[in-house]
Chain A
């Protein structure tokens, strides 16, 4: 059973009087342990796909299965629980909570799952060490560089040991060199722990770390090709 199995996914937004077809019958499967890069021009539906994969958004039509569960059948609370347990997000804009230290930001997903204080702290320290920020644990996001913030975000994405990491333009706000180290870090961590990762990007560099590249246009998958 693939980890992700999408069939005929349609997503329609209504913006005032016009309706926008973001996804038009998209099919996609992602196997466990695979790193898939989704590429395409702006407006091709990459981000919408990402939101649906991560149970952040609902779909208009089609069937989306994550780890054997149909997302459409879950309640709001069940979706929140699923995001907490099975999905780790890495965003282009980092999306750290500005009032919390790096350590607390990494602990955040564990707080909502009710993990005990001590376990949380230990896990956060372990993860921050993994991303090379052991000495920055008590800094707030505005005291960290862009690359450091993205490392905190990666540590946070791994906090609850998720099935899948969803990275939405993870290098979009970083310079080339920093971006490359972040990509290497993502690949290393995914492969070390055998994590599945879906990477949305239009950075060809980013695609370099993928096992497979999926190209999108106008809300559909154009082609799927293996990548060496």
Chain B
């Protein structure tokens, strides 16, 4: 019987071609917008995840000050933490680790043209050489001015200067600066081996983790040098840990977090999946917001279906009377009208889905070109199935009220209707 109702509904739709198409257009514009936005949103999410995985590496986790990442982030608590890097490197499952320490120190440079020493309080950052050798993707390329070099493992009495610092201390490559440490430590004379080049302001290749983007007014020294000046690390900003091949990152991260906290380091571990779920939350929120806006046009489409069906019921009042006179029950009439409005929704859904996917692949290509990444085009079967089911439901729901009206018409009145 459903098949017969489909035929009846179909012949009625085809009988009013122009109006049916206008109604369908109203639906498919809405569906197109929703599908395109959701599809682009999912594509961006996947692309961002891929990019994060590329930079971050799924085998890597970072140690941040406790509460600095994720929900419940608070301004309370120190932004720096204590860390025993040598202990961390020896933990089972850890392949390599690198950390960044930061202090503000009293620094003396060279004498200026007037013979006075330049000096002042400046930020000093200690970098593990492994940052460059093992975690290059995190910090991006460190460009040095010609004639300079970065420090390598084992060196201690060396420094790389930010450009502004070099100018203020009147110090170039081959000269020295003097850095004062804690009261009971000797001050150290460090050889300047490189000066950071001015970074290209237009470059999008920034260091990944906060606090590591190269700064023009910072003095960079080897991590071990920090220990000579200030003793064991209690001023770490961030630590990167790579796990041994085949080890479960989450497990190692959880163990490291528990043991480091027991040793007094106020840290949290952040893994790839933490970052990706945080990004996912943001992108899904944005996607949902956009889809919500698109949903408004879908709603308008639904009202269009309702209007068409309502008019159709009025126009076909007599026809409804005829069908009832020859034995149609109220439920039959209801079904025929619901199928009719659902069909219009479904056709709108099919056209809208195809068009939406088309638009999203064009949009992905454009976005990809602008940001120089390959944006994935997501056309998941579940999205398509959900959209089509939704479109049919939209049509049917919009047709519900007119259909109920049609079903409840008294036969005699309907037959008399002109």
Whether A205 is near chain B, meaning CB under 8 Å from some CB there, is no
- A85: B residues at CB distance < 8 A: 327
- B12: A residues at CB distance < 8 A: 99
Most chain A Cβ neighbours within 10 Å, of B3, B4, B319, B323:
B4
- B318: A residues at CB distance < 8 A: 95
Whether A76 is near chain B, meaning CB under 8 Å from some CB there, is yes
Interface residues on A, range: 20 to 34
Most chain A Cβ neighbours within 10 Å, of B8, B323, B411:
B411
Interface of B is mostly: helix
- B11: A residues at CB distance < 8 A: 99-100, 104
Pick the residue among B327, B331, B415 that contacts A95 (CB under 8 A): B415
User: Does the CB pair A111–B1 fall under 8 Å?
Assistant: yes
User: Does the CB pair A97–B325 fall under 8 Å?
Assistant: no
User: Does the CB pair B4–A83 fall under 8 Å?
Assistant: no
CA distance A57 to B323 in the complex (A): 15
Whether B329 is near chain A, meaning CB under 8 Å from some CB there, is yes
Whether B326 is near chain A, meaning CB under 8 Å from some CB there, is yes
Residue of A nearest to B4 (CB): A111
- B411: A residues at CB distance < 8 A: 56-57
- A197: B residues at CB distance < 8 A: none
- A114: B residues at CB distance < 8 A: 1
Q: Give the distance to chain A from B333, nearest Cβ to Cβ, in Å.
A: 10
Binary A-proximity of B319-350 (CB < 8 A = 1, otherwise 0): 10111111111111000000000000000000
CA distance A95 to B319 in the complex (A): 8
Q: Give the distance to chain A from B323, nearest Cβ to Cβ, in Å.
A: 7
- A54: B residues at CB distance < 8 A: 325
Binary B-proximity of A52-83 (CB < 8 A = 1, otherwise 0): 00101100000000000000000011001101
User: Does the CB pair A97–B412 fall under 8 Å?
Assistant: no
Residue of A nearest to B10 (CB): A99
Whether B73 is near chain A, meaning CB under 8 Å from some CB there, is no
- B323: A residues at CB distance < 8 A: 97, 108, 112
- B410: A residues at CB distance < 8 A: 57
Whether B54 is near chain A, meaning CB under 8 Å from some CB there, is no
Q: Give the distance to chain A from B111, nearest Cβ to Cβ, in Å.
A: 101
User: Does the CB pair B326–A57 fall under 8 Å?
Assistant: no
Whether B15 is near chain A, meaning CB under 8 Å from some CB there, is yes
A-B contact pairs, 20 of them (CB 8 A): A51-B412, A56-B411, A76-B330, A77-B331, A84-B328, A95-B325, A95-B415, A96-B322, A98-B15, A99-B15, A99-B319, A104-B11, A108-B322, A109-B326, A109-B327, A112-B326, A113-B327, A114-B1, A117-B3, A160-B327
